[in-house]
Amino acid sequence: MRLRYCAGAAMLAVVAACGGGGGGGGGAVLPAVQTSAPTPALSLTVKVNGNEAQASNGRYAVKPGDSIAVSSNQAVNWTPTPTPAETATPRTPSVAGTSWTARVANLSAAAAVLTVGASTDASHARDVVFDIAPGDARNGSYKVFATNGSRLTLTLDFDNMAYAMTDENDVTVADAIAVDPTDSTAYIFASTRVSAVAANSRFRMTADTVVGAFPFHAPKVLTSYAVQPFVASRALVTTQAALDGAYTRLGINLQTSTRDSNIRQSRISGGGTVLQLCNDVAITSIAACTLLVDYTVSPGPTPGLWKVANVADPVNDWGYFAMARVAGKNVYLSAGTSPGAPNDSVFRIGLEESAAWPNLNAIGGDTSGSWGTMVYTATTYDTMMVRTDATGYGFAGLSLGVPSFTISNLKSFSAGGAYYFTAQDGTLAAVVGARSGPAAGQIQIGLAR
404 vs 328: which has the higher pLDDT? 328
Q: d(Cα 125, Cα 412) in Å, to the nearest integer?
A: 70
100 vs 26: which has the higher pLDDT? 100
Q: d(Cα 291, Cα 357) in Å, to the nearest integer?
A: 28
* Low-confidence winner among 29-38, 84-93, 250-259, 386-395 (lowest mean pLDDT): 29-38
* Low-confidence winner among 22-36, 50-64, 77-91, 330-344 (lowest mean pLDDT): 22-36
- Count of alpha carbons within 13 Å of 183, Cβ hemisphere only? 17
Q: How many CB atoms lie within 10 A of CB 400?
A: 15
How does residue 152 score in pLDDT terms, banded at 50, 70 and 90? very high
Strands 124-132 and 59-62: parallel
Is residue 18 over pLDDT 60?
A: no
Is residue 9 over pLDDT 60?
A: no
Give me the sign of the Cα torsion angle 186, 446, 415, 433.
positive
Read off the pLDDT of residues 305-361 as tens digits, 9 standing for 90 and up.
999 999 999 999 999 999 999 999 999 999 999 999 999 999 999 999 999 999 999
Is residue 267 over pLDDT 60?
A: yes
Residues 6 or more apart in contact with residue 13 via CB below 8 angstroms: 30, 31
How does residue 122 score in pLDDT terms, banded at 50, 70 and 90? confident
Q: What does the H/E/C string look like for the chain?
A: CCCCCCCCCCCCCCCCCCCCCCCCCCCCCCCCCCCCCCCCCCCEEEEECCEECCCECCEEEECCCCEEEEEECCCCEEEEEEECHHHHCCEEEEEECCEEEEECCCCCCCCEEEEEEEEEECCEEEEEEEEECCCCCCCEEEEEEECCCCEEEEEEECCCCEEEEECCCCCEEEEEEEECCCCCCEEEECCCCCCCCCCCCEEEEECCEEEEEEEEEECCEEEEEEEEEEEEECCECCCHHHHCEEEEEEEEEECCCCEEEEEEEEEEECCCCEEEEECCCCCCCCCCCCCEEEEEEEECCCCCCEEEEECCCCCCCEEEEEEEEECCEEEEEEEEECCCCCCCEEEEEEEECCCCCCCEEEEEEECCCCEEEEEECCCEEEEEEECCCCCEEEEEEEECECCCCCCCCCEEEEECCEEEEEEECCCEEEEEECCCCCCCCCEEEEEEC
How does residue 436 score in pLDDT terms, banded at 50, 70 and 90? confident
139 vs 221: which has the higher pLDDT? 139
**In whole angstroms, how large is the CA radius of gyration of the chain?**
33
Is residue 34 over pLDDT 60?
A: no
Is residue 11 over pLDDT 80?
A: no
Supply the pLDDT for residue 8: 37
How does residue 5 score in pLDDT terms, banded at 50, 70 and 90? very low
Supply the pLDDT for residue 12: 34
Q: What does the H/E/C string look like for 298-366?
A: EECCCCCCEEEEECCCCCCCEEEEEEEEECCEEEEEEEEECCCCCCCEEEEEEEECCCCCCCEEEEEEE
Supply the pLDDT for residue 35: 54
The residue ranges of every structural domain in the chain are: 45-132, 137-356
How does residue 199 score in pLDDT terms, banded at 50, 70 and 90? confident
Supply the pLDDT for residue 195: 84
**Rounded to 5°, angle at Cα 153 from 218 and 256:** 15
How does residue 32 score in pLDDT terms, banded at 50, 70 and 90? low
Task: Say if residues 6 and 13 touch (Cβ distance below 8 Å).
Answer: no
- Could you tell me which of 348, 82, 326, 301 has the C-alpha nearest to residue 211? 326
Read off the pLDDT of residues 167-178 as tens digits, 9 standing for 90 and up.
988 999 999 999
Q: d(Cα 442, Cα 420) in Å, to the nearest integer?
A: 9
| Residue 427, φ and ψ in degrees, nearest 5 | -120, -50
How does residue 36 score in pLDDT terms, banded at 50, 70 and 90? low
- Among 167-171, 208-212, 222-226, the range with the most confident prediction by mean pLDDT is 208-212
Supply the pLDDT for residue 87: 96
Is residue 205 over pLDDT 80?
A: yes
Whether domain 45-132 has CATH 2.60.40: yes
Task: Say if residues 128 and 44 touch (Cβ distance below 8 Å).
Answer: yes
The reported pTM is 0.88
Is residue 1 over pLDDT 50?
A: no
Percent of the chain with pLDDT over 90: 84
Is residue 17 over pLDDT 50?
A: no
Supply the pLDDT for residue 40: 79
Q: d(Cα 31, Cα 13) in Å, to the nearest integer?
A: 8
Average pLDDT over residues 372-386: 97
- Count of alpha carbons within 13 Å of 40, Cβ hemisphere only? 8
Task: Say if residues 163 and 157 touch (Cβ distance below 8 Å).
Answer: yes
Is residue 22 over pLDDT 50?
A: no
Whether domain 137-356 has CATH 2.60.40: no
Say if 45-132 and 137-356 have the same CATH topology: no
Supply the pLDDT for residue 204: 98
Mean pLDDT of the chain: 91
Is residue 38 over pLDDT 70?
A: no
Supply the pLDDT for residue 150: 97
